[in-house]
Structure 1
Amino acid sequence: MKSSPLNSAEKFDTSRANEYARQSRIALAGYDACQDLAACMLAASLGGAGSAKILVVGAGGTAQEIIAMAALEPTWRFTAVDPCAPMLEAATQQLQANDVLDRTHLHLGYVEDLAADASYDAATLIGVLHHLDGDAAKRQTLRSIRAHLKPGAPLIVAGNHYAYASQPLLLAAWGQRWRQHGASPDEVKAKLGKILQGADPPHSEAAVQQLLFDSGFADATRFFSSLFCGAWLTRKTS
């Protein structure tokens, strides 16, 4: 049975939200570099757009993409969307600590819940797609984002791709990454079992591109890679 977006959100309870900042930086080597580069790619794409409005989907947890963009572009404003209350609360704390909360509108829910006339100059979808079960759910989210973007607006998409079991060397290296950060052999085994059962990433970079095409976006430019994870910039087609 395919999970709904709500089922996906329920994976991020208070316990997982509290540990997300540390765990995400282990699971994704280069986590902060990816967020920093995403900010640079959007700034380069918008070309000094001034007071741009940025839609940040799946902002819960660290809110690091907003923090990185806000440091680079002091006039940008953000709408942070996340369906998980504990994750959005964790993000709120980070935004407040980094003096960005007054530039951010927080939305507990889904992109589909935003006002129909809400329009944005750019958007980010980082660490979300592989938590949505099935291509239909992935396309739904991408199309919902597209509906709120101005013509030609850039979108950053970042997340895991590949069927995990199809890449045994990467999977083994991912386990070593946890060991590198102090995980015991049993903990590494549990982490590997969890990743094999707990997500549904697109099975290739071509599959990511096809999802974007199907959802009304153009060719994507890849700007980051780390084991299973990739990050791309694409644009809304007219």
Structure 2
Amino acid sequence: MTQDTVRPDGTLPPPAPTGGWSLVLPLKPLGLAKSRLARFAGPHRADLALSFALDTVTAALACPGVSRVLVVTGDPLAGERLAALGAVVVADEPGGGLNAALTHGAAYARRAWPDAPLAALSADLPALRPAELARVLAAVPTGGPGNRAFLADAPGLGTTLLACAPGARLAPAFGEGSRARHAAGGAYEITLPDVPSVRRDVDTGEDFVQALALGVGPYTAAAAAALV
């Protein structure tokens, strides 16, 4: 147990699980996804959004301890491509928004794999490294149904991962300012150093440049080449 996993009250969480994680990723219809990249990517915006998800899912499935990745989406093309990688595609419920989609996917995972620890993960982590994700998941406590933990994004205002113990309620509160909301809701913050690929989600052109500097996966690298 390291200092990085100390709770805000100074106590240490119980040991984390060694395997069996269910990860839930939300993905908007590609025509609506990543609207803030429109000026940067132009007609390639939907392609970028799909490539981000493909690289995120590929890395997540390669992560030690992850047993399954569920993608909540209503986009047929994205669903087909992600299912081909090995993801479990869960049909989104129209009009619910990001947190409703995550709650829907979490409920699906709980019904199918009730004893598995559960995490919500951003689908726009094109530089994601399996080993870094494994370190983050290993810092999540599993000692009781009230244990939840989150990882802040690179700017420190949002959240890229929210996780909980088997049987716990995920209670996602993603969106602008989610770091503060998750902390206020009782989740403790994982402050591991050297996991930049798990923190670097992409909403803007500047974010994308930073992800490229970290080293993106093959799908995003191919999509980026089309921008030149």
Give the structure-1-normalised TM-score: 0.32
Bigger share in helix: 1
